[in-house]
Amino acid sequence: MTISESKDVIDEIFHPGSIAVIGARSNESLENDGWVSRLIDFGYSGKIFPINPKAGEIMGLKAYPNIKDVPGPVDLAIFNVPFRVSDQVMSDCASKGVKFVHVYTAGFSETGKPEGIRLQNEIERIAREAGIRVIGPNCMGLYYPQGGLTFGRFLSRKPGTVAFVSQSGASASRVVAQGNERGIYFSKVVSYGNAIDLDGTDFVEYLSTDPETRLITSYLEGVKDGRRYLKVLRECTERKPVIALKAGITEGGSRAAASHTAVLAGSEIIWEAFFRQTGVIRVDDLEELLDVAMAFIHLHRPAGRRVGIVGRGGGLGVVATDMCEKAGLKVPPFHPDTQTRLEQRIPDAGTSARNPVEPDKGLAAWAAFYEEGLKAIERDPGIDIILTHLGIDIYGGTGQRLNQSLDETISILLKLSKQLSKPLVIVLYAGGRAETINAVLQAQQKCLEAGIPVYPSVPSAAKALSRFIGYHEFLDRKASYSK
Amino acid sequence: MTISESKDVIDEIFHPGSIAVIGARSNESLENDGWVSRLIDFGYSGKIFPINPKAGEIMGLKAYPNIKDVPGPVDLAIFNVPFRVSDQVMSDCASKGVKFVHVYTAGFSETGKPEGIRLQNEIERIAREAGIRVIGPNCMGLYYPQGGLTFGRFLSRKPGTVAFVSQSGASASRVVAQGNERGIYFSKVVSYGNAIDLDGTDFVEYLSTDPETRLITSYLEGVKDGRRYLKVLRECTERKPVIALKAGITEGGSRAAASHTAVLAGSEIIWEAFFRQTGVIRVDDLEELLDVAMAFIHLHRPAGRRVGIVGRGGGLGVVATDMCEKAGLKVPPFHPDTQTRLEQRIPDAGTSARNPVEPDKGLAAWAAFYEEGLKAIERDPGIDIILTHLGIDIYGGTGQRLNQSLDETISILLKLSKQLSKPLVIVLYAGGRAETINAVLQAQQKCLEAGIPVYPSVPSAAKALSRFIGYHEFLDRKASYSK
């Protein structure tokens, strides 16, 4: 299998002209979610063939007792059947001449049981002999909003530029759903499970030249061919950034990965070297993956790692500074001119015109401060990035006051963000109160729509910034070596 | 000053018979929050004397132009005045024979400016000569719900057993407010700022024998007398656990601490040794401080560090396992008997009866599983703690279904928690959707009321458990040395 073949195959899989759902439930409806209803609901424009032994109609579509009964060609078949009949179903697909199969069904080699291993080997053999290309088994398959494909009915129909390649189905669901809430939209997502045929390497390789994808994110437990994965990722990061969570890295985690997707997870030392060599951005959990993605989506590269921090609460400023420096950023003293300019804006006590800056008074007074203060910080030649933490949980108040002062502050930040040439990052820590959380979610929405990245905490912002900058530094180092 | 004197002084400060608010605002009301209204609102039962040059009435109380005009004794005076007049006000307090002063006012040595430093030295001198004991300057002072004292009107009136000793006012506000939302209630809290007299060491020493306090938490930037702090903390941790966030630990953070509370923050190496020697539990931010506190409030000590993990989503289980092991816990394979018992409950594919366990189907099916499954895990001699992650963001659904299935699962967990002898910890990750977040907040409330600790993520739970166990291991080591 040459590289171009695999790429072409995957592009075809994302654009099937017809889809058969084998094992479509006869009681499917929009409320009673299933594979057929999701395709209809998501606006898939190709032909859909529900396959069910009792035939009849499913979601208003004619159902067939067997895929072999379908009139006309089937590009993609989704297996929603008990794993014990998967070999028979794969044989039927071979007879029918199905091109691609997504085996949603689980219960194969990941169980460690002889029956599961035998059946996985069997469907692999049948597919290979028939030339059927397979996603799975034991996976959620495809999410491609542009093409009407989805594995979850509540995911956004809005396409974006981020791809996610996931060995895990739950991770794929969480990343897309959570990403959508944080204003991150996806080009193409695949959950590929046990990967008896197409695996993470194939998908990343395809996405590395996919014009719809600007940023690749990934969850992986293990790879089949480490050497090829290294090569593909090394080339890919030159074209676009790749953010990856390598799971199954501890002793227990590696054992867990074996019983999840039946992989050998590999040692920490090997993976550490992998990340260093490829420039793939490593994250520890799915939230961090989205944090870093957010930086890539909204920010341009800052000139360096020096952060100007602004926020109410002296102690919170000290902790924020520690968090930034622990993450590999710098929080240096301001230039004397900046100091003077800020002191004109923050004349009174209890506050600091030094870095980290603490504006005086509550949220409303911040609004007034931000107008001039952030511009003063931006002019500082020793500052590359501005990070503001609002402390709404403490200073936001309740009821009308909360919404008013938050609205006022956010409006000014939105206005300012258009004027500032250095990256601006906002931390909207919400605390545990329902009212504040809901107000913060709304404020976050406004910022994201205006292209300002919003983080739930200073550590998450600081780590994301550091990794975002780290990718660019990697490219610089690579460029200087090759000179 | 001997140890017992300082302790007695602090106990008196927490129980003042009368309080003067110097600089009480004439337009104070319950809506227009201030120091006088807070005391009234919080049910403080002693005498309150508002001091305001215009006198008149404030919140229905007779106001006096100067503290010297107050008839009868004043135990505690709160300074809510511009820092420039603080020396005059302190002299007035000395004339009046005020015992204790809380200088809320800021603008002193933390500004680094000559005028601030001079005034701080001046109020320190006047207080010392007059024998006035001082909290502050530049701090929020006292929160003691049992005694009607508070620095924030929206904090809980319900007393608890956790103390918080904080150099930072914002940290004190955040920890109490956020703690309340997470079912953590406080015995005594103090924010002591620049500490010209009483400092963190004095307060911890007092709390170490305070019968109302079972657990001491602390935010500190620096201490005046390192040797004494070490001694006090070493003795304290033998009696009750201490959880501390040491801020200002990086280069920038240390500079920030200097301009916040005018302290020398000390190097990482020194503090690392301090934590190792004293058994004080170190945390990196305020959320972690509350995470660990929650473990101490609700859990008894497990026999060891071995965790049984249960939750839907194979990949999420792998990541959860990594997180637990990275935090210093173990996720071992189950005993074969446990495996067999679980397989009887989880017969079908796509799921795992191994550790981490993945029950089949959605939330409702979990409820059925938990009934028997958790008991099987509890019987395993190789498991010390049970951690469940519910993945409500992915599997919870929406609307009625979300609330129903969450209610059902939580009810069973509450019932089970009474039957299980091993610690049970629940992770309620809420994702970013307002509906799910609100449902999770309600479910969390129920669990906390039933005494089950709830964490927002697996890493936060794992770190808290590891630190909770670490404290007990420290005591074991110390006991074995002294034999």
Enumerate domains of chain A plus CATH numbers.
Answer: 3-135 (3.40.50.720), 141-298 (3.40.50.261), 307-473 (3.40.50.261)
User: Would the pLDDT of B331 be above 80?
Assistant: yes
All residues at 6 or more sequence positions from A8 whose CB lies less than 8 Å from its CB, including other chains: none
- Length of chain A equals 483
All residues at 6 or more sequence positions from B416 whose CB lies less than 8 Å from its CB, including other chains: B370, B371, B374, B375, B424
Which residues does chain A have within 8 Å of residue B251's beta carbon, measured at their own beta carbons? 325
From B17-21, B235-239, B294-298, B372-376, the region with the lowest mean pLDDT:
B372-376
Percent of chain A with pLDDT over 90: 76
**B352 at A interface, C-beta within 8 A:** yes
**Searching chain A, which residue's CA lies closest to the CA of residue B250?**
A322
Q: What's the distance, CA A239 to chain centroid?
A: 18
Section A147-154 average pLDDT = 95
Q: What integer pLDDT is reported at residue B381 of this predicted model?
A: 97
Helices (H), B328-398: 336-345, 363-379, 392-395
Sign of CA pseudo-dihedral B365, B366, B371, B372: positive
Dihedral angle, C-alpha A334, A336, A340, A346, nearest 10 °: 30
List the structure tokens of A141.
């398959």
Taking CB atoms and an 8 Å limit, are B325 and A251 in contact across chains?
Answer: yes
**B326 at A interface, C-beta within 8 A:** yes
Peptide bond between residue A356 and the one before it cis (omega within 30 degrees of 0): yes
Q: How far apart are CA A453 and CA A465, in angstroms?
A: 10
Section B299-325 average pLDDT = 95
User: Would the pLDDT of A349 be above 60?
Assistant: no
**Which of A133 and B4 is assigned the larger pLDDT?**
A133
DSSP-derived pairing of the beta strands B100-103 and A281-283: unpaired
Q: What integer pLDDT is reported at residue B351 of this predicted model?
A: 65
Radius of gyration of the CA atoms of chain A, in A? 26
Section B354-360 average pLDDT = 86
User: Would the pLDDT of B350 be above 50?
Assistant: no
**A394 at B interface, C-beta within 8 A:** yes
- Tens digits of per-residue pLDDT, A34-73? 999 999 999 999 999 999 999 899 999 999 999 999 999 9
What is the complex's ipTM, to 2 decimals?
Answer: 0.93
- In B, residues 141-170, which contact A (CB 8 Å cutoff)? 154, 166-170
- Cβ A141 vs Cβ A78: under 8 Å: yes
Q: Specify which residues B101 forms β-bridges with.
A: B77, B134
Q: What integer pLDDT is reported at residue B12 of this predicted model?
A: 97
- DSSP category for residue B431: T
DSSP E strand stretches across A206-249 = 215-220, 242-246
Round the average pLDDT of chain B to a whole number and report it: 92
Section B131-160 average pLDDT = 96
Section A260-265 average pLDDT = 71
CA within 13 Å, CB half, A65: 2
- Cβ B466 vs Cβ B329: under 8 Å: yes
User: Would the pLDDT of B4 be above 60?
Assistant: no
Amino acid at the residue A316? L
Q: What integer pLDDT is reported at residue B398 of this predicted model?
A: 86
* Residue B43: how many other CB atoms lie within 10 Å: 12
Q: What integer pLDDT is reported at residue A258 of this predicted model?
A: 82
- Cβ A292 vs Cβ B144: under 8 Å: no
Q: What's the distance, CA A10 to chain centroid?
A: 20
- Please name the helix (run of DSSP H) or strand (run of DSSP E) that holds residue B233, with its range, or none: helix B226-239
Percent of chain B with pLDDT over 90: 76
Closest CA of chain A from B202, distance in Å: 20
Q: Pick the residue of B318, B340, B387 with the most A CBs within 10 A to test the interface with A by mutation.
A: B318
| SS3 annotation, A211-265 | CCCCEEEEEECCCCCHHHHHHHHHHHHHHCCEEEEECCCCHHHHHHHHHHHCCCC
- Tens digits of per-residue pLDDT, B30-79? 778 899 999 999 999 999 999 999 989 999 999 999 999 999 999 999 99
**A182 at B interface, C-beta within 8 A:** yes
Whole-structure pTM value: 0.94
- Cβ B36 vs Cβ B28: under 8 Å: yes
Section B338-355 average pLDDT = 74
Taking CB atoms and an 8 Å limit, are A260 and B391 in contact across chains?
Answer: no
- Tens digits of per-residue pLDDT, B202-217? 999 999 999 999 999 9
- Tens digits of per-residue pLDDT, B272-281? 999 999 999 9
Q: Specify which residues B387 forms β-bridges with.
A: B309, B425
